[in-house]
Each structure stands twice: as C-alpha cells, then as structure tokens.
Amino acid sequence: MSNNYDVVNPYSNRVIASYQHTEWTEVELQLGCLKAGQSHQKELPAHRRAAILYRLAELLEEHAEGLAKLITEETGKTIADSRIEMERAVNATIASAEESRQISGEALDSDAYAPTRGKIGVVCWRPLGTILCITPFNFPINIAMHKIGPAFAAGNCILFKPSPENTASAQLLVELCYRAGMPEQVLQLAVPALTDMAGLIAHPLVDAVNFTGGTGAAEAIARAAGYKKLLLELGGNDPLIVMDDGDIKAAVAAAINQRFATAGQRCTAAKRVFVQQAVYDEFRQCLLAAASELVVGDPASEQTFVGPVINAAAADTVQSRIDQAIAGGATVLLGNRREGNVLYPTILEGVDDDAALMVEETFGPVIPLRAFDTLEELVSLVNNSAFGLQAGVFTTNLVTMRYLFEALEVGTLATNDGPGFRTEHFPFGGVKSSGVGREGIKYAIREMSYQKTLVL
C-alpha cells in the first residue's frame, strides 16, 4: 500500500500537491516529544499562554487572505466563504486567549453536611495532558482553532491531525503557531495513514481525543479509545422551521445562506426545511426566486456562491439521495443538475418522510421542503432522525419558542435564525448521534481538563 497521497482541487480536478503520510515511527517520536512538553506547559503561566494566543490571532489576521485562497484551492469553498472562515478562526483564537486567563475553580465548605469536618475543598481545573485533535475538510482553519486554541489555553499539548485534503493549510497554521510562540514540544502536526489511526488513538501517550467528523469514524474512535476522554462533534440533520407568524424574507435568507453556502457541507446546515401550511406557498415562491439567482461554479470567483463539493464520491452520494427521493415520488422544484463535482442548488418537495434526504445527514446543496400543520406533527417529523445537533425556528410567539425548546431533541434551538447559528463563546454540540461533550471555547477548555481537589 502506497504511503503517498495527492491533494486534488475539487473544481478543476487538478492535483495541487503530493504528500507522504506520517510514518508510525515518526508519530511515536512526536508523542514522546509532546509528553516531554507537558512539563513546559506546567511551567507556562496563563498570562503567557494568553499572550501567545493573542500573537497567533494577529498572525492569522495578517495571513488571512493567503490562507483563504489556500482553503478555496484545497476544499472548493468559495473565496468569500473562506474569508468568513478566517474571521471566525481569528475570533476563536482571541476567545481562547481571553478564556485562558479566566479558568477558575471554587472553594467548598465541608460543613454543609454532617458530621462537621471543619475542612475546605479547593477545586481546580488541570490539563489532561496530550490531546489528539482531529479535524475535517470543510473548515480547516476555524475548526482547528476551536480545538488547538482551547487545548493550549487549558495547558495541554496537542497532536494535530487534519484531514489530508487540508495538508498545506494545516502546515501553514502550525508554522504560524510556532511563530506566535508555541514550542514544537507542545504542538505537532501528523497525517498518519488511516491504518495507523486506531493505534494512535489507543496509544498510552494520547490522553484525550477531540474529533469533528462523521459518526462512522467516531464509532471507530470510541472502540479504540477505551476509557480516554472523548470530545466528539459529529453530524447533524438540522431543521429550519418557519411558522405562520415568522419573517418569510429572513427565513428565506437563512435557508439560502445556511444550506447552499459551503455547497451544503456543514454539520449545522439547514438540511430540512419545515414550513407551516398557511405560509408554505409564499415561502416556496420566495425561496425558489432567491435560489435561482445564485451564482454557481468556480469557487475562486468573487461572485460565486455555490462551488463544488469536496470530491466525486461526495457528489455521487448527494446525487444518489436526490435520485432516490425522486424515485420515491418527490418533485424537483429547482436544480438536479451536476457538472463534475459541482451540484447546482436543488429544491425538492414531496420527499418521503423516511427517505435518506429526510433522516440522514446529506453534505450537499439540496433542500427537501415539507409542509406541516401543528406543532405536534412538526416535533414528530424533526425528531425522526438519529441526529440532534441544532435547529432554527422563525416565529414571534414566545410560547412556540418555549414549546419547541423543550420538545425538540437538539443541543441548540436558535430563534429567528437558522440552525447554522454559532458563536465562539456559546456551548456547541448535540444529542443522540450528534456527539459527546461541548465545544465553544470556555466549554471546550473544561472538556479538555480535569478537576482536582485540595482539602485544607
């Protein structure tokens, strides 16, 4: 089996560069280096970690345009979308710097319960050790900084394993981390072969795994990890809900931006759109008009809104689900057109409730539209999925918001916004097959730490 791999531009299918997977012997050396680096992290005060992260944010800002172009070349993400990603990455780095100085514990009085013991418990947070941070292709810098930033802020060492498609951008990110002041013994980059991943995850020098990606890979990680701490941010089949009192124009904008941007390759994309019957026709007409105006094609063009998906296999999967829905009786309202890895924005109605497009996560620019009447009907439809990441609802009714907040099996409900809402300091994560634990900088720091108690 070859140890080489190519990175291919998803739009042109041109080979950008060829690389070699990190050999197992090198991975073991890296883990040994990081183990030695843990003593360095113990001696590095929080204010110094903050200063390094602030400097890294400055460097990311200085190199934002170059990194954005690299992201576009590697992933097919539009240049406008890649620039937004870089803004988010800078924000995540700044938030990590700020939170590194806010890590606090608590003091507990032992006399709260009899018998009186006359002691005080001082509870502190301490780093886990070495964190294996595994990132996906779709947000190569932003998701990386949502892992590297809080891991470093908490005082951990990091083995960074990016998606192979993102090798060049990952290399540049790590170089900037070093320039900002992160020692090599604290951060290492590795892209081992898939056959070595189970051994890496199970390695005794890996103390925890922070992974963003699919459920199949997460299940393999869980099997290999044993009792290690896991932070898993997985997929979503996120609904966008439009009630009859919702803002139609704003809901259409959310559907467009949160489903067709990044060619639909987001875990929080609006993958199902449910519209109350009274406003269904109006919403459908507005959505079709807006979607038909989107510029599709070359992601390097400033005007392009929808570029290619990551590769031909991904395009095949999305197309097959569209075809299955049509075979099951769905009607194509827009799209169902493919050019290479570019899938044009596609809108369907009449998709069977048990079709893959409705119950599985589909990473592509396709919207199944579904009318509903009552909230009870809606909740049953939304919860008919193994996933439970985020949801968005457009309504002015506080009672409706509260009801859906309690009834929907999701980690977050965004009101008068789509399920794609995320900001760096909010907790982020789901239920069911959407993951374990919470990201969001402050919350990720705690996930990558443990509590230690001193009794006085």
Q: Under CATH, what is the fold of the domain 4-234+434-455?
A: Aldehyde Dehydrogenase; Chain A, domain 1 (3.40.605)
Banded pLDDT at 116 (limits 50, 70, 90): confident
What is the value of pTM for the model shown? 0.96
Closest of 149, 136, 137, 134 to residue 60, by C-alpha: 149
336-369 tens-digit pLDDT: 999 999 999 999 999 999 999 999 999 999 999 9
Q: What separation, in Å, do the N-terminal and C-terminal C-alpha atoms of the chain show?
A: 59
Q: DSSP letter at 21? A: P
Average pLDDT, the chain: 97
Contact 263, 308 (CB under 8 A): yes
339 is catalytic: no
Does 428 have pLDDT greater than 70? yes
Q: Which residues contact 413 (CB under 8 A, 6 or more apart)?
A: 390, 391, 392, 393, 401, 404, 405
Domain boundaries, the chain: 4-234+434-455, 239-426
Which of 74, 85, 99, 233 is an active site residue? Answer: 233
What is the tens place of the pLDDT at every residue in 252-283?
999 999 999 999 999 999 999 999 999 999 99
- CATH number of the structural domain 239-426: 3.40.309.10
Can you give the pLDDT at residue 38? 97
Predicted local confidence at residue 6, as pLDDT: 97
pLDDT in tens, 140-174: 999 999 999 999 999 999 999 999 999 999 999 99
Q: What local confidence, expressed as pLDDT, does residue 2 receive?
A: 74
**Average pLDDT estimate for 66-73:** 98
Residues 6+ apart with CB under 8 A from 95: 149, 424, 425, 441
Find out whether 245 and 395 touch, Cβ atoms under 8 Å. yes
